[in-house]
Structure 1
């Protein structure tokens, strides 16, 4: 197989004059043809037409030191050898015109001569295989040694470098493991999703949309994505996480975008806002579907232009943040109803991933159970484990049709926490498991699964008003609003729900307004009837 070298004429280094002293100087193109262990059968010499005399002189010298080398001239036009577009276009055109015969010839692209721009272009063309083969770099000799100098071949086919390729695979595996919290998951679709999220977390700064039911792990995944980006230097700021369901009315605008002193009643000082706090970092907006249309409009501009106007301010402020948003609602359906901006969906939907419920990843239950046991042990400062019979009984129930895991991984976390607190000496026995199974069954009593969204009364209300707001309510409120929401979800209108709920008292009134009575109850908890209808 013949060896063919492609080289730009070095208009400075290859030009050492006409006299005999030129043989004392190192010339890169000539050096390539003087190597004892490298025979160049053909040299494709590229140069601009006005350097023809220099090309002829270099050709004669190559023929003198390497008679077996056939030098072929190629004129190229580079009006500005430092302009990337000009140089790349000319070299690209050469690569398209040249008739390569890789089955008969091996090719070396010389990257020692030419401007730095030209060398970069030759590298890129070789990397993308427009110039097939390897790179060759020639170097001058040491002053003491003299001679033609040395050369180095650089093969850009990384598959030949097993150690390097293995290192890349190891680093990727470590990153993926971190995104999964060190949990050895088996679900094929989930693992493929996490692998892709790992890539875009490193390569992209665009928004990521995480969807899926409450408790599927959106918040935990967002935290792990931030940690990965932080360690790799993709963000330098902090993680700012907020559940949009806790933002209501004027407070939402102020919390997100900040306000000036005196902007409204009670604004006694300046507030920077969450977007500003996330500058150079990552902003996680969970339950983004809870934001009002005004907040959505300002958020869209902040994402696109990195600028926004705090409440009461005359001048804009800026924040360069990366964004992850989460929701358990159908944003496209909300858009059709006029509740969510279509242009904002488009902006945050470049990378969209749906986290499956625990029931759809049931083969991953056991490693997640071990993860929760380890997390409990770390939080409470004592080792927690099952005895063998207790673990077998818990696993049998967990994988059975009786276990619907309506709250997904939150249910699992709560279950392990309860058993841990009630266990003796950090050892969960069968009595603990039996008691916990009954508790879970009672919690899920009457629950059904519609798609991936739990429609039990408690889970429904939690999705509507947010976990934090739910935790602040009395048990009385849980029971009251849970029952009302369940009836509303099964009714076509507030009037129909009112007729069901007030079936006796309404008959004792001279005039009735069932819709108004329902609306009063829902308004107290910040719930809209049309939001409940999404659970039908």
Structure 2
């Protein structure tokens, strides 16, 4: 394989003004690195110097072919001009990697030229390695030093280990220090690490309540600070609280005169940082439209203002449903869903990663120790019993990590001597089962059970309709008031508007009357 070197003529160094060392000349005289061809780039103003360098190389290394390549640069410090002309040179060169091995000489040329060489080589527009030469250090390096730089970082084991260690640290940060075994969570952390490094587009965290979306968003902000992607703080808001006439002003801000005092607004507060919109699908449609414009353009009008305000922030949103599903359900505008769908990432529920249960329990015990300022731990039999219950397929953890956190903290608080015993675990399991049974019970069935001996004897359609009627009866002062509420639409087409009689007949179908309903409810 022939060695081909491409480099700029050193308009100062190749004149020998640095201890007589001339990089383009000495490059061709290094033992162990033969230069078969040197492509010496120069502009027309330095043609005679290029000829002199070529002649000196011929005397030192007769086997080296020197080709003079004229590239005229109006301003060698203009990045656009230098990169454009070197790109054109590379495009038209005709590299033959089967016969020749290519190198770029970085030592000569302006800093702009060196940066352009690096970019073209790293992107493989030029299939070459980089050469860095330096002046002699002692008598053993009369022709100076020569280092070959290969941009394949995988070849540099120490660097690779450092990158891998940094990646592990960032994954641990995103996972809150919990040593997860879940393939889904490991893949999520790795993907988020890459997204934060290379993208400023909105991130949407999708998952059930209690899966840790808001906590993960705070860790993402911390990692963005570490990566210097943002400088500002995390501004967090639960979108379910943005209601009524003041909601738009809370989001966009409000000019003085429209209110007693001027409001900066959430978007302005997040300038330079991260805006976390928890439960973003609960934003009102007008707020969703305003948010899309602010994210896409970085500009918006505060309420009551004729002057635009600029705010650049990174958006992290959380939602229980995928943005596309939220559009189908009418909860989200299509343009907002499109904005949030680029990086929509799913957090699996706790029941889908029971392999992490022990790690989460021990981590939560550590948090409780810190909060309670005392050492706390499980007895062996108690820990085994709790983990059997926690990892049982029948234990669904409907509140996910929120349920688990509350459960562990309860046991840690009640462990007066710092030990969680088997009876305490058994009592906690009973408490959880009772809580979940109440929260997951059918409210319609509970209501019907108060007035019907056997609710299951009726069709599901009839049970749902009757439950709605019973709620209206419970909330009305009289049977006439309940009838007016229940038949408000259809009564307009009736010649006789006796709503109370219609309601009596409906209740009678189930063996009920107004007195019985009022008494039992």
Aligned: 1:201 with 2:199: no
Aligned to 1:440: 432
Show CA shifts across 1:63-107 (max 9, x none). 111122122344546565444444334433443444545455433
CA 1:493–1:133 in 2, change beyond 3 Å: closer, same or farther? farther
The alignment covers a number of residue pairs equal to: 474
How many angstroms apart in 1 are the aligned matches of 2:380 and 2:19? Answer: 83
Further displaced range: 248-257 or 97-106: 97-106
2:345 to 353, 356, 363: 353
Aligned to 1:3: 3
Aligned: 1:168 with 2:160: no
2:282 and 2:331 in contact (8 A); partners too:
no
Q: How far is the alpha carbon of 1:37 from its aligned partner?
A: 4.5
How many angstroms apart in 2 are the aligned matches of 1:290 and 1:43? Answer: 66
Aligned: 1:252 with 2:247: yes
Q: How far is the alpha carbon of 1:288 from its aligned partner?
A: 0.7
Aligned to 1:386: 378
1:293 and 1:341 in contact (8 A); partners too:
yes
Aligned: 1:413 with 2:385: no
Gaps of 5+ in 1: 17-21, 449-455, 459-478, 484-489, 518-536
2:206 and 2:319 in contact (8 A); partners too:
yes
1:111 to 83, 106, 119: 106
CA 1:362–1:500 in 2, change beyond 3 Å: closer, same or farther? farther
Q: How far is the alpha carbon of 1:396 from its aligned partner?
A: 1.0
How many angstroms apart in 1 are the aligned matches of 2:356 and 2:45? Answer: 70
Aligned to 1:377: 369
Aligned to 1:57: 52
Q: How far is the alpha carbon of 1:391 from its aligned partner?
A: 0.8
CA 1:515–1:373 in 2, change beyond 3 Å: closer, same or farther? farther
1:286 and 1:326 in contact (8 A); partners too:
yes
Aligned to 2:82: 87
1:138 to 133, 140, 162: 133
Show CA shifts across 1:42-65 (max 9, x none). 222334567554433322211111
1:8 and 1:110 in contact (8 A); partners too:
yes
CA 1:334–1:137 in 2, change beyond 3 Å: closer, same or farther? closer
Give the TM-score of the pair, scaled to structure 1.
0.79
1:34 to 29, 35, 49: 29
Gaps of 5+ in 2: 451-459, 490-521
How many angstroms apart in 1 are the aligned matches of 2:235 and 2:19? Answer: 65
How many angstroms apart in 2 are the aligned matches of 1:492 and 1:93? Answer: 77
Q: How far is the alpha carbon of 1:150 from its aligned partner?
A: 3.3
2:178 to 169, 176, 183: 183
Show CA shifts across 1:195-238 (max 9, x none). 11012223322211111110011011011111122233322221
Aligned to 2:211: 216
CA 1:89–1:425 in 2, change beyond 3 Å: closer, same or farther? same
Aligned to 1:288: 280
Give the TM-score of the pair, scaled to structure 2.
0.81
Structure with max Cα Rg: 2
Aligned: 1:340 with 2:310: no
1:495 and 1:515 in contact (8 A); partners too:
no
Q: Secondary structure at the match of 2:246?
A: helix
Q: Secondary structure at the match of 1:250?
A: coil
1:13 and 1:27 in contact (8 A); partners too:
yes
Q: How far is the alpha carbon of 1:370 from its aligned partner?
A: 1.1
